[in-house]
Chains A and B, each alone.
Chain A
Amino acid sequence: MRRNLRERIPGGCAIIGVMSETGRRFDGTTVIEGIRCMHERSNGLGGGFAAYGIYPDDLKPYYALHVMSQTHHEHETMEEGIRQHFRIIHQEPIPTRRHPRVGEAPILWRYFVAAPTDFAEPPGEEEYMVGRIMDLNGRVEGSLIFSSGRDMGIFKGVGYPEDIGEFFRLDEYRAYLWTSHGRFPTNTPGWWGGAHPFGLLNWSVVHNGEISSYDANRRYLEMFGYRCYMKTDTEVVLYLFDLLNRRHGLPIELTCSVLTAPFWNEIDAMPPADAELWRALRQVYAGALLNGPFSVIVGFEGGMVGLADRIMLRPLVGARAGDLVFIASEEAAIRAVCPSPETVWAAEGGEPIVARLARSAGGSEPASAHKVEVPAAS
């Protein structure tokens, strides 16, 4: 396992997300079939899934740390670190099945943990978790916490995504939200940790494309204490969502619009009060502007959002059928699992496709105190 990739690895990819807005839980075969349809967009060097709402009630309140380690020694070092920083409620190997097309896997383990003390404020606890996870990942060579949310999990590895899904027995999990990713890197890292999704707390990101502004974003994030040790574009997307939404309290839609900010001439044409806000957002969050060809699906607690770059250099299609919302790189992938959706539409550059749990399904607004309507970015 190569932890410190010295170079960023560009590539193209396939992404898909499926969610039931009523919170109905369904197994992983749907999303596996969807991503299988886009086999041609991957090259067998990485695939993965994020699933929300999968864990039993007694484990739901705890952070599920999914860990991959190269050797037993590294596994133990990581476990030692986890024990040091958190209270372990339960631990077990991540169940897998032998698969003819998935090679040798690292040691895969999951820990359900709680923060060691009670934090008065919820952000305090989250800050603590983020800080410790970043620290462990940076410190322990050869071992990686690749999933750390509550009642959600990331499953990923080297192989075609449909094979990875079968390897992880995803047909046995039931989730209200699934995202998946098939990878087409342009060289061979051979590293399970390099596959998507990338996650932090409840965030998960699958990403198709390249962030040409990577280093500007990375250096911006470092000012806020994020460490981009994975050296992948996807990582900056993840942390930007965390910074803007969780820490700075911008609603998801506004976060998306900041990441793919409206052009200055569009801002100039807005009514003055909106223009003033947008000028401020672009001035302050200049380092958060994502540039380059990309489309991403970001999963969070209670929803998912699909977003493509400002000038739509990567494809992204949305569809709706009953309680289900689909977002995918290709319409074909959606139709493979849902032959006749009620509506299908191509995303506009910089305009997010958002799906949220209905309130009746226990959904709530994402972690922001205020709801603001987002000035249209086009």
Chain B
Amino acid sequence: MSVIKNEPVTEQPAGGLLPTGAVPAGTTGSPPRRTASPADRGSVGVERGGGVGNKEDLAKKTRQAVTPFRRMRPAVRTHPDFRVIVDEDKCTLCRFCVLQCSWDALGWDDRVVPFDENCVGCWRCVAVCPTYAIRIEQWPTMYRENHNWTRFIANSVRKQAGSGGKLLVGTGNDKPYPVYWDHLLIDACQVTNPSIDPLREPMELRTYVGAKPDRVDLAAYLSARERHFIPTDHRSVGDPDRSGDPSANGRPAFDRDLRRRLGIGPQLRLETPIMIAAMSYGAVSLNVQKSCARAVAEMGTYWCTGEGGMHPDHYPYADHTIVQVASGRFAVDADYLNRAAAVEIKIGQGAKPGIGGHLPGEKVTADIASTRMIPEGSDAISPAPHHDIYSIEDLRQLIFAIKEATRYEKPVFVKIAAVHNVAAIASGIVRAGADAVVIDGFRGGTGAAPTMIRDHVGIPIELALAAVDDRLRQEGIRNRATVIASGSIRSSMDVVKAIALGADAVYVGTAALIALGCTLCQQCHRGRCAWGLTTQRPDLVKRVDPEEGWQLIANLFKAWSGEIKETLGLLGINSLESLRGNRERLRAVGLSQAEMDILGVKPAGR
């Protein structure tokens, strides 16, 4: 339904502001805060809408805007997706919805005038209306039912006949493929093993991301200890008062030496196994990134900048930031790599495996340009492949180039899209020296992707994750790298199931955006997100207040962490590592034997 628009469709893949004809003047005004409480809703009137003169003025402008627009209908027509219904009895004529709709779907002519063909169903107007006078409905016209030529497919043909371009869309795959998370059920303790009350007993969610050796070399530990004259006094151990010379214990040289001798690579410490996936500055607004950065810092976890570089505003959160090196190599220099907690090489993205990205020049504002280190207004193009990586050996070189540049102090992640041969690819990546492999499933989100690719390329994360975990174990290299599952992790239970299938941690992207207001209208690529998320228009960007935004995300993570703890408790375990790969505690409903074999789970009832 997402792409059935009257808009001209162009070839711009990445979030451009598409030309949309006349813009009602009212919508450019600067609106009040996004989450007006019901109390202040009443006080929000036209007076506060900046850029609008008086009532008559606005009505005139609306009429001017509408007339040419209505004439501009393309030859091949589709119907609108939605119908906007304004209840005249309830409407207080405050015009707030008109000001807030960034999609030119509401105008003003002494009353609210809906232009249904423009409505994307983003619910912004519904959310801000003080009297709940607005209703958005599916467009009710009935086509003759056809299970082959679905409405979506037929409309796609019509649109492309009009535009001659490929269809674009934002957010993840919305087609009715099976969601395997929803076919997996979790075990619980009864009688023979007691469940554990997370409110009374410690419940550990801490996870370390990074490469681990197969064994701890105790002899090396002891010799390091000896070299640094740190006593191994039984009584002292665990008792800080009697721990010998504390200055010797705390010596950084000792720590480094010890870690090297223990064979432990650099690690990220996650207090909860949930990180925020790459969403670049350009795809999302700076305020979104600020919310993410602060949230993960507060929650003891990490976020990824995406390929758009790291804005100086995020430097205070550098310790919780994973920077990305993608095929466009935007912003990559030694400082960028060393500032971060970890570096992620992006090979692919679940929503659009095998293709690159394109941030059109008009979105490359001065701030984005300087963050990405490219000229202002120039197109930011990420080629489909890295042009210096045509093989696994090449990838190995890049991994080690980054490790050299960061003195082997930062874990290096490699992110790939879940494709058919994902297990073998992941194994190669681990052998190439990556500290973590990120597997991004085909339902993963995107700021902009060709619709047909988003909907038809790649495989589900659940199957990919299970296959990768199995393969790494078969080859005995599972310890050597962390596995991070990504691509539509929607709830704490998805996290639990991912970890039980074998992931160490997960990335969430869309869930964090939903926490900030996203209503999944799938129009991110058009750069006019009414919720201020995937846009750079200053009047829209400020709809996200980072001060409030970080709390929303942190709340979400807190809630999920609580639910994960509770689930561990009912499973009778008190530490996340006892869940990792523990597929015995999952059962399948409604899956084929082949699917269960791949997932490594038994059917429910067995």
- Interface of A toward B, CB cutoff 8 Å: 6-8, 10-12, 186, 209-210, 212-216, 218-220, 222-224, 248-250, 254, 261, 263-266, 269-274, 276-277, 279-287, 289, 291-293, 310-311, 313, 368-370, 372-376
Given A215-B583, A313-B194, A372-B222, decide whether A272 and B255 contact each other with a Cβ distance below 8 A. Answer: yes
Interface size class of chain B, counting residues whose CB lies under 8 Å from the partner chain: 35 or more
A250, A279, A291, A375: the one contacting B238 at CB < 8 Å is A375
When distances are taken between beta carbons in the complex, the residues of chain A under 8 Å from B581 are 215-216, 219-220, 287
Of the A-B pairs whose beta carbons lie under 8 Å apart in the complex, a sample of 5, sorted by A's number, is A215-B585, A219-B581, A254-B218, A372-B222, A376-B238
B386 to nearest A CB, angstroms? 31
Tell me if B127 counts as interface (CB < 8 A to partner A): no
Given A273-B249, A285-B216, A313-B194, decide whether A376 and B578 contact each other with a Cβ distance below 8 A. Answer: no
A223 to B581, CA, bound (A): 12
B241 to nearest A CB, angstroms? 10
Q: Which of B172-180, B196-204, B336-344, B433-441 contacts A (4 or more CB under 8 A)?
A: B196-204
A350 to B215, CA, bound (A): 21
Tell me if B56 counts as interface (CB < 8 A to partner A): no
B201, B214, B225: the one contacting A311 at CB < 8 Å is B201
A263 B193 Cβ-Cβ under 8 A: no
Closest to B573 in A: A291
A281 B194 Cβ-Cβ under 8 A: no
B200 to nearest A CB, angstroms? 10
A274 B238 Cβ-Cβ under 8 A: yes
A271 to B218, CA, bound (A): 17
A284 to B218, CA, bound (A): 12
Given A272-B249, A281-B216, A373-B233, decide whether A286 and B580 contact each other with a Cβ distance below 8 A. Answer: yes
B246 to nearest A CB, angstroms? 7
A43 to nearest B CB, angstroms? 13
B574 A311 Cβ-Cβ under 8 A: yes
When distances are taken between beta carbons in the complex, the residues of chain B under 8 Å from A285 are 216
A375 to B236, CA, bound (A): 9
A263 to B233, CA, bound (A): 21
When distances are taken between beta carbons in the complex, the residues of chain A under 8 Å from B194 are 293, 313
B216 A373 Cβ-Cβ under 8 A: no
Q: Mark B570-595, 1 if CB is under 8 A from A, else 0.
A: 01111101111111110000000000
A292 B193 Cβ-Cβ under 8 A: yes
A376 B237 Cβ-Cβ under 8 A: yes
When distances are taken between beta carbons in the complex, the residues of chain B under 8 Å from A264 are 204, 206
B254 A273 Cβ-Cβ under 8 A: yes
A373 B192 Cβ-Cβ under 8 A: no
A375 B582 Cβ-Cβ under 8 A: no
A292 to B573, CA, bound (A): 6
A4 to B234, CA, bound (A): 45
Among B212, B218, B246, B250: residue with most chain A CB under 10 A: B218
Among A220, A270, A271, A370: residue with most chain B CB under 10 A: A271
A263 B204 Cβ-Cβ under 8 A: yes
Extra contacts besides A213-B579, A375-B237 (14): CB < 8 Å:
A10-B192, A212-B572, A214-B584, A222-B473, A223-B478, A261-B575, A263-B202, A271-B236, A272-B250, A284-B212, A291-B574, A311-B574, A372-B222, A372-B232
When distances are taken between beta carbons in the complex, the residues of chain B under 8 Å from A289 are 575, 577-578
When distances are taken between beta carbons in the complex, the residues of chain B under 8 Å from A219 are 473, 581-583
A277 B221 Cβ-Cβ under 8 A: yes
Given A263-B204, A280-B264, decide whether A209 and B193 contact each other with a Cβ distance below 8 A. Answer: yes
A373 B202 Cβ-Cβ under 8 A: no
When distances are taken between beta carbons in the complex, the residues of chain B under 8 Å from A370 are 218-219, 222
